[in-house]
């Protein structure tokens, strides 16, 4: 169902490039031959090869991302949790640039779940500020249409206001739609959709019996946070965890899943291209 990304390019691909790289990068200093680091050269060539394999008809329209691993990244480096969250936030603009290059239409970024709201206040307070800063910077750049998704009423007023201001500031834009999922939970979204549906029909005077007889999946889909958007074709989760944890529960029924070992702050363009290539190589049957 999912695929683990490999930490390095396949050995059969890397070997000839490594040999050529050593020849071209080697230099003589004081009579001794020193070989420079070729990792960047190798991955650059590998990225170009994967990108060349992708065709527009096999690129997902909607990509959902569970940005996982900021805290573990920080712990591995021996720095504070806040540093991990800031490093993860700094990755967002770069990632959206990769999506734009492939002409992806919708990206949903899960920044904070409803479960995350139970974390200690001394972690949440700076995290809310980091999210506000990151979303405001995206809005100022005016490259993408920002669409907050989640239970904004559960968030601090300043955070909810920042998300709405980013949405208003980019409402006139076209192109890539960026769903910013903050205070988001899949079960909460479905409950909110059903609640909105009931309020709508109560306002029309529809009885519970009549509503029960006419209700179908489209009625609920029309009240989801992502109403009017295509469901995610591809869902990526970083940090090696292999579960959805409630992300886009309704919308991901037919999504292809890709699990990457890298923590989100270390997620690279080559990892993203591998995920898209894995998606392109799968045969989507939608149960048929």
Which tokens hold the place of 251?
């919308």
H/E element holding 63? strand 62-66
Left if phi > 0, otherwise alpha if psi is -120 to 50, otherwise beta: which for 51?
Answer: alpha
The answer to whether 272 touches 238, Cβ cutoff 8 Å, is no
Residue of 13, 93, 116, 266 with catalytic role: 116
Do the bridges between strand 234-237 and strand 256-259 make them parallel or antiparallel, or are there none, so unpaired? parallel
Per-position DSSP letters for 217-264, written without gaps between them: HHHHHTTSTTTTSPPPSEEEE-TT----TTTTTTGGGG-EEEE-SS-G
Residue of 68, 231, 233, 271 with catalytic role: 68
Q: What Rg value do the Cα atoms of the chain yield, rounded?
A: 22
Instruction: Tell me if residue 57 is catalytic.
Output: no
Instruction: Tell me if residue 210 is catalytic.
Output: no
* Catalytically active residues, by annotation: 68, 116
């Amino acid at each position: 169902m999912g695929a683990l990304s490999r930490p390095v390019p396949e050995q059969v691909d890397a070997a000839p490039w490594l040999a050529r790289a050593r020849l071209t990068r080697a230099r003589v200093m004081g009579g001794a031959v020193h070989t420079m680091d070729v990792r960047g050269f190798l991955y650059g060539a590998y990225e170009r090869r994967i990108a060349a394999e992708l065709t527009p008809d096999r690129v997902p329209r909607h990509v959902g991302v569970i940005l996982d691993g900021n805290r573990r990244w920080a712990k591995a480096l021996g720095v504070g949790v806040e540093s991990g969250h800031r490093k993860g936030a700094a990755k967002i603009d770069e990632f959206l640039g990769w999506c734009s290059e492939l002409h992806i239409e919708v990206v949903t970024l899960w920044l904070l779940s409803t479960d995350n709201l139970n974390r200690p206040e001394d972690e949440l307070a700076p995290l809310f500020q980091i999210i506000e800063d990151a979303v405001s910077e995206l809005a100022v750049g005016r490259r993408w249409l920002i669409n907050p998704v989640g239970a904004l009423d559960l968030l601090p007023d300043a955070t909810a206001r920042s998300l709405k201001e980013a949405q208003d500031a980019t409402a006139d834009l076209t192109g890539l739609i960026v769903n910013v999922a903050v205070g988001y939970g899949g079960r909460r979204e479905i409950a909110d959709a059903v609640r909105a549906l009931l309020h709508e029909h109560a306002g029309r005077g529809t009885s519970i019996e009549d509503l029960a007889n006419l209700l179908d999946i489209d009625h609920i889909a029309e009240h989801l946070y992502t109403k009017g958007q295509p469901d995610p074709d591809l869902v990526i989760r970083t940090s090696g965890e292999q579960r959805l944890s409630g992300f886009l529960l309704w919308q991901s029924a037919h999504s292809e899943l890709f699990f990457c070992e890298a923590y989100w702050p270390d997620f690279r363009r080559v990892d993203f291209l591998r995920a898209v290539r894995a998606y392109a190589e799968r045969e989507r049957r939608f149960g048929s």
